[in-house]
Amino acid sequence: MNATGIGAAVRRKEDFRFITGKGQYTDDVTRPGETHIHFLRSPHAHAKIKKIDAKAAQAMPGVLAVLTGAELAADKIGNLICGWMIHSKDGSPMKMAPHPAIANGKANYVGDPVAVVVAETLDQAEDAAEKVVVDYEVLPAVADPAKAQKSAPQIHEVAPANTIYQWHLGDAKATEGALKSAKHVTKLHIVNNRLVPNAMEPRAAIGEYDAGNQSFTLWNTTQNPHVARLVIAAFVGMAPEHKLRVIAPDVGGGFGSKIFIYPEEVVCLWASKKVGRPVKWVSERSEAFLADAHGRDHVTDAEMAFDADGKITALKVKTIANLGAYMSTFSSSVPTYLYGTLLSGQYDIPHIYCEVDAVYTNTVPVDAYRGAGRPEATFVVERLVEVGARELGLDPAELRRKNFIKSFPHQTPVIMTYDAGDYNASLKKALDLIDHKGFAKRKRDSERSGKLRGLGFSTYIEACGIAPSSAVGSLGAGVGLWESAEVRVNPTGSVEVLTGCHSHGQGHETTFAQLVAERLGIPIENIAVVHGDTDKVQFGMGTYGSRSGAVGMSAIVKALDKVEAKAKKVASHLLEAAENDIVFKDGKFTVAGTDKSAAWGEVALHAYIAHKFTGAQLEPGLKEGAFYDPTNFTFPAGCHICEVEIDPETGNVAIANWVAVDDFGTVINPMIVEGQVHGGIAQGVGQAMLENTVYNKDGQLVSGSFMDYTMPRAVDVPSFKVDTTVTKCPGNPLGIKGCGEAGAIAAPAAVINAITDAIGSEDIAMPATPQAVWAAIQKHNGGRKAA
C-alpha cells in the first residue's frame, strides 16, 4: 500500500488552516462597502399580514432600505421550489404551495420572514427592525402532523386538508393477505422526533451585485453551490445562470441543512442590487432554529408479520410526514423514495406496503437531515424486529440472522436491488466485539448494584451513492445525480483536481488527493483539491447522501483514466516508442521490455512544451474532465450494538458500550471513515436520548435555542468501538459504498432497543430523557426497584 494512497490513514491536508484559526468561512469574508441585513420574522405561526409600516424604520440612522414581500413580488423575484415531484396514489401531483422568499400577505410559521432591513451596521439594522410596524391578524395554527389533516386551519389554498400528497409503495393486497395469515403480528406506534440539524457554523450569505457586468456573486454556506446557482437563476429568476457566481468557502458542517436553497440567500442577492452594495447576513443561533430546515418528524403505525419459524412474512407501514409550512428543496423525496424504499432493511421480506401522507403545518420547513428518510425507515424496521423477537421469545440476534438476505443481487419488494453485502459477518463481528457472551454476567453485576442493563441491536441498511440519474428521474427528481471531475496536470507535474462535490468536514481535500497520489504515483503534497466555486468548477451536484466517495471519486477515476491515456501518448513521443508499449506504473512511464523510461514530471512538462510532437500528431496540454453517472445506489450496511446501564432511581441512562461494525465497501482513509461513524452515532444518540423540537399548540417553537434544545455534549456519549467488514460495491470502479450517514441511521434504534431491553417495557418515545425513562420504569413495574 502506498503510504498516502487508498487505505492509508493520511492526516488531513485541510487541518492546518482550521487548527491555526485560518479557515475562511462565509462570516470571515468581508466585501468592500459591505452592508448588513436583518430579517424581521413573523412572531406568529399563522397570521395575515394586513399592513407593514416601515416609515419610522426607514428614518433610523444608517438604514439603506426596508424591503417587503410586496416589493419582492413587484420585482418579479420568483418563488423557492421543491425539486422532486411526488405523485399521490390517485395519480395527482403533489400540492406545492408558493414559497416567496419574504412572506407576502400571510405568514405561515414562526420565523417566516416578513420584512428585511439593510443598514450600514448590523446593530443599526436590528435597531431599525424594531421600528417596523406589522399589523397581523392572527389565525389558528397547527403544528402537530397527526392533527394537520383533520379539523385544522387550512394553510395553503392549493392543499385541501393540508395534504401535500398521499403516496404509496408496494403491494397492499399481498401484504394484507400475509398479515392475516401470520402466526404473529407485532404492532408499533412510532413518533420519529423532529430534530434541528445545528451544524456548528450558522448559515450565512453575502450577495454582491456588479452593476458594470450586470452579474451577481453569492458567498454562501452551501453543500451544493451549483444547485444553488441553478435554482436561483432558473427558478427564482435572479439572473441568468452565467451571470451568477456562487462561492461556498469553508463550510462548518451541513448534515443536510445546507443543501437547500433558502430565502436569505435570495434576499441578500436581490437587496444587493437594490442598495448597490454587498449585503451580508449571518444567522444567529436562535434565528437558525427558526430558519434552517428541520429533520424527521414522522408519526407512524407499523405492523410486521411473522410465521411460526420466526420468518418475517410482511411489513405494513402508515406514516404521516410533517413537511412544515412550505416544501423545502428536496423535502418531498425524504419520506418517500428515501424512506419507503429502505423498509426491507437487511431482511428478506416477501411483502411490504407503505403509505405516506405528507402534510403542511405551521412549522419551519422540514427536509433532509443526516440520513434523510433512512434513519426513519431503520427505526421502524429495527424496532419491529427487536420487539417481534421479544414477543416471540426469540434471541434478537438469532431472529435477525434467520431473516437476513443471504444472496445477491437481491430485489426487494420496494424498488431497491441490493448489490452486495454480508450481514451475518458484521453481526458476528459486532457480537464478538461487545463480548455478547459476557453480557449476562454484566447484567447480573449491574443488578447487584441496583442498576438495569440492556442490549440493543440495529442491523441497518441505507442507500447511498445518490444516484443513477435516469432512475431518480423516473421517480420524480428534477435533476440528475451524477458527479463531475476535472484533473488538471500542471507543467511541473503537480495536479489540481476540480470536483463538483463540496467538503464541509468530510476531508475531501485529503481523500480525493489520496486517490490521485495512488493512481499517478506522485506525492500527496503536489495535489490540490478545488471545490466550492461555480467559476472554477464547471458543474456538480454537491455533497449529501454519502455520495462524494461513491459518485464523486468515481468521476475522478474516469478523469484520471483519460489523463493517463493522454499522458501515455505524450510519453510515446518522448520515448520514441509505440503508444501500446508504454507502461505507466508508480509514477513512471516505461517502454515495455526496455530500460527506457520517463518520470511523471517529464511527461507533464512535455505535454505543455510540446517539442516532441506536432500539433497534427497530438494536442498539447494535460487536462481531462469526466462526468460519472452511477449505475445503481450503493448499500452500506452494518450492525451497531448499544449496551446501556440505567439507574432506576433517576432514569439516568449511561451508554456502557457501543460497537459499530459497518460495511462501507472500500475505505479510502480509515481515520476519516471512523470519524464519520463517531459523529453519526453521536447525532443518533442525540435523537434517541436528548434532542426534541417542541412546538406548543399555537405553533410557537418552545425549544428554540441551545438553552432549550439539548445538544449532545462530551459527557453524553462514550468512546465507540468502531470496526468494518468489507464487501466491495460492484457498481463503481473503487468499490466504495459511503459512510457519512451510517451512524445517524443505525444509532437511534440501537439506543431505544437497549433501553427497552433494560426496563422491560416498549412504552417509551424518543428522546428517552431521564425523566421519560424514569416514568416508563414507574409505569411498567409500579415503581419497584430492579430485581
Partner 1 sequence: MPAVKMTVNGKAVTADIDPRTLLVQFLRENLRLTGTHVGCDTSQCGACVVHVNGQAVKSCTILALTADGADVRTIESLATGDKLHPMQEAFRENHGLQCGFCTPGMIMTAVDIVRRKGNELDEKTIREELEGNLCRCTGYHNIVKSIAAGAKAMAG
Residues that bind partner 1 (CB under 8 A): 11-12, 14-25, 27-28, 30, 123, 198-202, 250-253, 255, 282, 284-286, 504-507, 671-672, 674-675, 678-683, 705-707, 711-715, 717, 719-720, 743
Beta carbon of residue 605, minimum distance to partner 1 (angstroms, whole number): 29
Q: What is the DSSP string of 358-402?
A: EE--SS--B---TTTTHHHHHHHHHHHHHHHHHHHT--HHHHHHH
Q: What is the DSSP string of 677-743?
A: HHHHHHHHHIIIII----B-TT--BSS-STTTS----GGGS---EEEE-----TTSTT-B---SSHH
Q: Name which of 714 and 787 has its Cβ closer to partner 1.
A: 714
Q: What do you get for the CA distance between the two ends of the chain, in Å?
A: 54
Beta carbon of residue 283, minimum distance to partner 1 (angstroms, whole number): 10
Beta carbon of residue 581, minimum distance to partner 1 (angstroms, whole number): 44
SS3 673: helix
Beta carbon of residue 238, minimum distance to partner 1 (angstroms, whole number): 28
Whole-angstrom distance, CA of residue 399 vs CA of residue 639: 14
Beta carbon of residue 272, minimum distance to partner 1 (angstroms, whole number): 20
Whole-angstrom distance, CA of residue 100 vs CA of residue 29: 27
The number of CA neighbours under 13 Å toward the Cβ of 136 is 20
CB neighbours (10 Å) of residue 733? 15
Which candidate, 474, 665, 647, 658, places its Cα nearest to that of 551? 665
Whole-angstrom distance, CA of residue 674 vs CA of residue 463: 19
Whole-angstrom distance, CA of residue 488 vs CA of residue 537: 12
Q: Name which of 166 and 506 has its Cβ closer to partner 1.
A: 506
Q: Name which of 45 and 690 has its Cβ closer to partner 1.
A: 690
Q: Yes or no: say if 35 and 275 are a contact pair by the CB < 8 Å rule.
A: yes
Strand partners, 115: 40, 68
Beta carbon of residue 397, minimum distance to partner 1 (angstroms, whole number): 25
What's 638's DSSP letter?
E
Q: Name which of 346 and 683 has its Cβ closer to partner 1.
A: 683
Q: Name which of 284 and 581 has its Cβ closer to partner 1.
A: 284
Q: Name which of 123 and 210 has its Cβ closer to partner 1.
A: 123
Whole-angstrom distance, CA of residue 194 vs CA of residue 15: 33
Q: Name which of 298 and 504 has its Cβ closer to partner 1.
A: 504
Q: Name which of 24 and 650 has its Cβ closer to partner 1.
A: 24
Q: Name which of 17 and 50 has its Cβ closer to partner 1.
A: 17
Beta carbon of residue 505, minimum distance to partner 1 (angstroms, whole number): 3
Say which residue the cell 457566481 belongs to: 245
* Cis before 767? omega within 30: yes
Q: Where are the beta strands (DSSP E) in 483-601?
A: 483-489, 495-499, 527-530, 582-585, 588-591, 597-599
Beta carbon of residue 553, minimum distance to partner 1 (angstroms, whole number): 18
Beta carbon of residue 21, minimum distance to partner 1 (angstroms, whole number): 2
Q: Name which of 735 and 748 has its Cβ closer to partner 1.
A: 748
Which residues touch 605 (CB under 8 Å, ≥6 apart)? 491, 492, 493
Beta carbon of residue 646, minimum distance to partner 1 (angstroms, whole number): 19
Q: Yes or no: say if 559 and 483 are a contact pair by the CB < 8 Å rule.
A: no
Beta carbon of residue 11, minimum distance to partner 1 (angstroms, whole number): 6
Q: Yes or no: say if 324 and 97 are a contact pair by the CB < 8 Å rule.
A: no
Which candidate, 640, 651, 628, 618, places its Cα nearest to that of 559? 628
Q: Name which of 101 and 672 has its Cβ closer to partner 1.
A: 672
- The packing angle between helices 396-403 and 423-433, to 10°, is 160
Beta carbon of residue 370, minimum distance to partner 1 (angstroms, whole number): 10
Which candidate, 265, 264, 234, 220, places its Cα nearest to that of 83? 234
Q: Name which of 618 and 671 has its Cβ closer to partner 1.
A: 671
